[in-house]
Structure 1
Amino acid sequence: MQAVQATRFGDPSVLAVVDLPDPVPGPGELAVDVTHAAVGLIDVFFRQGAFKDQPGMPQPPFIPGLEVTGTVRALGEGVTGFAVGERVVSMSAGGTGGYASVHVVPAALAVSTEGYDIDPALAVSVVPNAALAHVALTRVAHLVEGERVLVHGALGGFAAAFPGIARRLGAARVVGTVRAGKLAAAATTKLPYDRIVDSADLPAVLGDERFDVVVDAVGGAVRTHSLDLLAPGGRLVVGGNASGDWAHQVDSNQLWLRNIAVTGFNAGAYLPAHPEAVRPALLAALEAVAAGLGETEVDVLPFAEAVTAHERMESRDLNGRIVLTP
């Protein structure tokens, strides 16, 4: 198979296209002939070595890639409910392996897209993240119908999945924030936000408006403002740190004084511990995307341009998703 491999930790130039043996599925797994692999910020962090000292994190050489779409190539022992040649979208178990023409995934983390008129590039860009958004909103934030949701980094790959799922779950209002350079793109987005504002103007730009759930994958100063923007009983879901501000701290006294909560959501830790959440989340994500609630800009590049894809991710020169094709 052809794959994009991180040959060592470092800048995007460490990515190289290589030829490797085709993997074979084990019990409970599918082998997928990959047509599209999404490029995510987690791939950048893994390549940089941001988590290299954490147990279980990938070590070079490794193949990045969390999300893939394609067709079933082979079934591992005990797998039912899928057929060879069936179109699927899937997440990987360890957050790697997707930038390959053949990828082995746990059958529990895959869902068929047969019967859904969804472009495969859009499917891989939105469905896995929408499934994670569903888990975060239902099982972590415990969103209740009629509540108000604020999403930081509103056009980012992970964040962009939240408004559609929030709408499906009955949110009364969904507001997003972006950096100033993203405001023009925000003005034309098809994502179902009620309003998108400049994060640099927080919290004043939102006046007296407060939110029951705030989703923050940005961190830094935005996280501090998130606490200020929570209504009594509100929940802040910390789902990333795109700002790169690893020293930021939260004033825990605000939690009890204002009756608010802060909770983390890391899919790599949550899903293995709660596998029963995956299937309903994937199905809910498919329904949301099929209903047009996940329309986002998608750029498609070949494996040979993986370095360019990562350079663009690092420069934040992106208003949607990048996917790679073999």
Structure 2
Amino acid sequence: MRYVSERKILMRAVQATAFGGPDVLSVTDLADPIPGPGQISIDVSHSAVGLVDVLMRQGMLSDHPGTPQPPFVPGLEVAGTVRAVGDGVTGFTVGEKVVSMSRSGTGGYASVYIADAHLVASFERYDIDPATAVAMVPNGAMAHVALTSVAHLAKGESVLVHGALGGFSAAFPGIARQLGAARVVGTVRRSKDAAASVTQLPYDEIVCSADLPGVFGDEKFDVVIDPVGGEVRTHSLALLKPGGRLVVAGNASGDWDHKLPSNQMWLGSVTVAGFNAGAYLPARPQLVRPALDAALEAATAGLSKTAIDVLPFDEAVLAHERMERRDLAGRIVLTPDS
């Protein structure tokens, strides 16, 4: 924080000044926000970088209602300590270690963040560091909601996760194990990733998506989580048991024109459901706190281990360049410290 006059305090933030490439991101000073009723302000130590941040910065979601328009501060996952609480907020104390999700999908790349209190969870009593908390807990909470309320995963069922090592997907195997899944398998784009990556996350197996659908032989799954899209999504229909559920949870492939054959859904007796946390959770706020608690338990139990690269705000452009190149094996986290 920098004091620029007796009355005005500025926070440090990374701002998208226009839609476009990573170079539209720049570090700037913005007015220090103050929490309103039902809100908490957080002194941010770590901000996670996600694919949705990239899509928003590119303008790929610009026509979707509620999507921010430039200039805006990206970021929807932060960890830090409570700075102040707004009217009506109870259960949090100043200085307490917390992790938060975002309702708007923005504001996270900043040294001070305003969060709705019901989207904040304390990790004061958990033995995890803030980088791990921000890298795994919000995504773990979303995975918990997707598996319980959308996919209705039952104990003993099997789960297939596409894009297995991506920031969002990496939260699913630990939560699936926590919920009693009997088998959890992942797919990745490159064979070398499949060969080298089973040790960090609790997958039974990781295979190359280029080998779908035949790589599994006759094996089929109860639940498929697909944040990838394109042909991987079509192959998923053939990998579901009768009564199986495909959860459409993203479009990392960038294939925005892809369509699913509805007759195959009918003949296979499978269900396809979309899950976008930004649309789903605001209508069901009662799901958030149990999901955050479950994600914290999973992270503490070591079910959410992943590689984490920590970069300063000044390297936000590099972080987004790496996201676009898929030049990462885990998550990238930004910190306000230079």
* Band of TM-score, shorter chain: over 0.9
Contact residue 155 and residue 186 of structure 1 kept, 8 A: no
Is the Cα–Cα contact under 8 Å of residues 191 and 207 in structure 2 kept in the other structure? no
Correspondence for 1:128: 138
Which stretch shows the higher mean deviation, 216-225 or 186-195? 186-195
The answer for the alignment partner of 1:33 in structure 2 is: 43
Q: Quick one: which of 69, 73, 83 aligns to 1:59?
A: 69
Distance 1:192 1:160 in 2: 9
For residues 64 and 288 of structure 1, the distance between their equivalents in structure 2, rounded to whole angstroms, comes to: 27
Amino acid at match of 1:69: A
Task: Determine helix, strand or coil for the equivalent of 2:173.
Answer: helix
Counterpart residue number, 2:147: 137
CA distance in 1 between counterparts of 2:99 and 2:71 reads: 25
1:245 maps to 2:234 = no
Q: In the alignment, which residue of structure 2 is the partner of 1:68?
A: 78
**Moved segments of 4+, more than 4 Å:** none
Aligned-partner SS, 2:31: coil
Aligned mate of 1:221, from 231, 241, 244: 231
- Report what 2:292 is aligned to: 282
TM-score scaled by length of structure 1: 0.99
| CA distance in 2 between partners of 1:59 and 1:316 (Å) | 25
Query: How many positions carry a matched residue from both structures?
Result: 326
Q: Which moved more, 1:178-187 or 1:115-124?
A: 178-187
Preserved CA contact (<8 Å) 1:185 1:319: no
| Native 8 Å contact 1:298 1:322 kept in 2 | yes
Residue of structure 2 equivalent to 1:313: 323
1:199 aligns with: 209
Change in 2 beyond 3 A, CA 1:193/1:3:
same
Question: Cα distance, 1:187 vs. partner?
Answer: 3.2
Does the CA contact (< 8 Å) of 2:195 and 2:206 recur in 1?
no
Deviations 1:187-226 (A, max 9, x none): 3531000000000000111111100000000000100110
- 1:129 alignment partner AA: N
Within the candidate set 300, 304, 308, 1:294 is matched to 304
Letter in 2 for 1:121: A
Between the aligned partners of 1:163 and 1:269, the Cα distance in structure 2 is 23
After TM superposition, give the deviation of residue 186 of structure 1 in Å: 4.0
Contact 1:300 1:322 in 2 (8 A): yes
1:171 partnered with 2:178: no
Secondary structure at the residue paired with 2:53?
helix
Q: The residue matched to 2:254 in structure 1 has which SS?
A: coil
Q: Is the 8 A contact 2:16 2:24 kept in 1?
A: yes
* CA–CA separation in structure 1 for the residues paired with 2:86 and 2:64: 30
Distance of 1:109 and 1:182 partners within structure 2: 37
Cα distance in 1 between the residues matched to 2:53 and 2:28: 17
Which amino acid counterpart does residue 22 of structure 1 have in structure 2? D
Percent identity (aligned): 72
Q: Deviations over 1:125-162 (max 9, x none)?
A: 00000000000000000000000000000000000000
Q: Is the 8 A contact 2:198 2:205 kept in 1?
A: no
Question: Cα offset for 1:257?
Answer: 1.4
